[in-house]
Amino acid sequence: MQGTEHCKNDFLPALYIIQKGQVRLTYNKDLLSPNACSLLSVHPEQGEHDQDKNEYVVELTEGSHFGEWTLLGEHINSLCAVSIGDVVERCS
């Protein structure tokens, strides 16, 4: 995966585990469902917050994961995931 992007109005179809590389997540915490909010609650203090857009930006590294809310049947379109350089991921 190089330069791959899933953004707003696209649904992340699976749980992603980053085996190699980094992924940048951008999301509006106010627009997330309660299930995703609890799953993403550990990330804001690791990243940046743009108060004008009310967006959080987090860079996840090897061993990190995202998209676990899809396992609960949640479909979230207020999140943007972009690979930073070469990324090896595993989808479930």
Taken in order of first residue, the domains within the chain and their CATH numbers are: 5-91 (2.60.120)
Using alpha carbons only, what angle is made at residue 68 by residues 67 and 72, rounded to the nearest 5 degrees?
120
Average pLDDT over every residue of 66-92? 79
User: Where does 1-92 show beta strands of DSSP type E?
Assistant: 5-6, 16-27, 48-50, 55-60, 65-66, 79-91
* Helices first, then strands: H and E counts in the chain: 1, 6
Q: What is the band of 1 on the pLDDT scale with cuts at 50, 70, 90?
A: very low
**pTM for this structure?**
0.70
Q: CA nearest 65: which of 43, 50, 80?
A: 43
pLDDT tens for each residue of 2-61: 455 556 556 677 888 899 999 988 887 777 666 666 555 555 555 566 666 678 888 888
Beta bridge partners of 2: 86
